[in-house]
Amino acid sequence: MTDRIEVKAAFDVTDQGEITGIAWPFGSADRVGDVIEKGAITSPENLPMLFAHDQGQVIGVWDQITESNEGLTVKGRMLVDDVERAREVCAMIRSKAISGLSIGFVTKQHKRHAKGRTITAAHLHEISVVAVPCHPGAQITSIKSDDPQTPSMETPKLENEEIETEQKALTPANDTPQVPQIDTKAFDKVIARLDKLEAKGNRPQITGPANPVMGGTEVKAFAAYLSTGEKKSLTTASDTANHILAPEDVSGEFIRNLVEYSPIRAIADVRTTAAANIILPKRTGITNAAWVGETDARTGSETTFDQSEIVVKEIATFVDMSLQLAEDSANVLSEVNLALAEDFGQKENVSFVSGNTALEPAGFMTNANIAETVATSNSAISPDELIALMYALPATYRNTGTWVMNGQTLAAIRTLKDGHGNYLWQPSYQAGQPETILGRPVVEAVDMPDVAADAEPIIFGDFKRGYRIYDRLSLAVLADPYTQRANGLMRYHARRRVGAGVVRPDAFRKLQMAA
């Protein structure tokens, strides 16, 4: 570009999360020479606001997208009142740690030139807040690089449309051209390599069984053919008992064991954190106001405070799998992830209910500060005891409380009746609505204790206010193809970091059976 470089992008954000900026400045090229002409971009009325192009991190919505002389001007709202991640990003923007915008779009029409492309038609998919301005951009089908000789990703195109995530920097204006020169010879090498990959992917596949009457066709080095696509055939009169023309077919269906775990996450307060420890300040006392006469002396009082701590714990394992199974089964990796997710989910839910060691999250059933209602029997529950337990809670927690017990206890409760012969347990007559006991929903948790002497089979309370779960790291799986390869195995390491604990013991009440 011989013209003056315009301000790439600039945006402001208010305390309420309103954000404005220029997502793409017209008339200037990006760092690989691409230019989008004014009037080329089309978009829906509203677009999602993402953080770093991560579809799992929606932090707001863009509701005003217009074209001006400066560029594609946008205005949106960050969901700072409802989304924790939005509040974090908003704080990073105000502290100048983040200063960039980036657009994700599908190229509809373009013209290629020596320094890049001139895009004349593109459809906008999303606009992201990014951490690093002046990035050359990232594509879903190919990732652009500062080094023009290095192709960063080679994947097939989708119906000849290039889905791009172009990151347009938000930097102060200057008069120095910032578009580097592209080595066209190196660029031609990249195009030639992509053409070879496309040709290899379009090679015909060999199908159909061998014909022993006509002599048959044996595919030699079947594994090599799968990896290279080179077909080398020869004619054989017969096949020996220990040789096959292709591997046996491995079914895509996996036979799984039933995994049951308590749905505590569905009723608890689940949040994310970036710290290893969460400090929760709490009030332990209130002021002591008293009625006084007009001229009577006033007495002072002081509110007392304390703090509680939830420590993030880690759960980890590894899985060894045969290299042959990994090669022969198309969906084996997704099955490994599913098995790990089920195992981790079952183990963490056991801890949410009864965790009492230093290595696991604290369970609500092991909290010594939760009060109890003691039953008169060690093997049977009466309706009066359930009513007493429920109304022992303050109305604030009682009116939003949930019953939690396992299936055996629930079966015993279903037979209980009140003084008028009505069942305490009420089935749900509407789809999506839970069953109720004394008008409050009941959740079946397989990890709760059975009815037995001195056991605590039932808990009732407001889990949204009383029990909190902090996710530090979701399930992360790392493949290790080297350390076990001598044994013909692939090792997968998996880990997860989560912390949990009771934050309001007075929001719960347990039923304890007689000793």
Establish if 405 belongs to a structural domain: yes
Query: Same structural domain for residues 120 and 43?
Result: yes
pLDDT recorded at residue 333: 72
pLDDT recorded at residue 275: 87
pLDDT recorded at residue 401: 94
Query: Same structural domain for residues 170 and 277?
Result: no
CA 239, distance to chain mean position in Å, is 51
CB 379 within 8 A of CB 408: no
SS3 label, residue 382: coil
Is 58 exposed, middle or buried, given 0-12, 13-18 or 19+ CB atoms closer than 10 A?
middle
Query: Same structural domain for residues 45 and 139?
Result: yes
> What average pLDDT does the segment 211-217 reach?
42
pLDDT band at 307 (very low <50, low <70, confident <90, very high): confident
Query: Same structural domain for residues 192 and 265?
Result: no
Query: Same structural domain for residues 280 and 175?
Result: no
CB 445 within 8 A of CB 263: yes
pLDDT recorded at residue 1: 40
* Dist CA 279 CA 271 (whole Å): 14
Q: Does residue 281 surpass a pLDDT of 60? A: yes
Establish if 385 belongs to a structural domain: yes
pLDDT in tens, 179-211: 445 556 666 676 777 777 766 666 555 444 444
Tokens of 213: 């009457």
pLDDT recorded at residue 5: 34
pLDDT in tens, 28-39: 777 667 788 888
Share of the chain above pLDDT 90, in %: 22
Establish if 58 belongs to a structural domain: yes
Query: Same structural domain for residues 181 and 308?
Result: no
Query: Same structural domain for residues 482 and 382?
Result: yes
Establish if 172 belongs to a structural domain: yes
> What average pLDDT does the segment 460-470 reach?
94
Could you say which of 172, 196, 220 is where a domain stops? 196
> What average pLDDT does the segment 444-464 reach?
93
Establish if 505 belongs to a structural domain: yes
More confident residue, 231 or 257: 257
More confident residue, 107 or 235: 107
More confident residue, 108 or 182: 108
Domain count within the chain: 2
* Dist CA 419 CA 416 (whole Å): 10
Could you say which of 196, 223, 248 is where a domain stops? 196
Could you say which of 196, 216, 247 is where a domain stops? 196
Report which residue type is found at 278. I
> What average pLDDT does the segment 226-252 reach?
45
Query: Same structural domain for residues 192 and 276?
Result: no
Query: Same structural domain for residues 159 and 274?
Result: no
Query: Same structural domain for residues 152 and 275?
Result: no
Q: Does residue 142 surpass a pLDDT of 60? A: no
Establish if 319 belongs to a structural domain: yes
* Of residues 407, 415, 354, the one with CA closest to residue 381: 415
- Alpha helices for 392-426 (secondary structure H): 395-398, 407-413
pLDDT recorded at residue 423: 76
Query: Same structural domain for residues 190 and 267?
Result: no
Establish if 363 belongs to a structural domain: yes
When mean pLDDT is compared across 37-41, 260-264, 445-449, the lowest value belongs to 260-264
Domain residue limits at 414? 261-288+302-515
Establish if 375 belongs to a structural domain: yes
Check which CATH number belongs to the domain holding 367 and give it: 3.30.2400.10
Kindly report the number of other CB atoms within 10 A of residue 129's CB atom: 29
Query: Same structural domain for residues 87 and 176?
Result: yes
pLDDT band at 461 (very low <50, low <70, confident <90, very high): very high
pLDDT recorded at residue 177: 45
More confident residue, 308 or 130: 308
> What average pLDDT does the segment 283-297 reach?
86
Report which residue type is found at 173. A
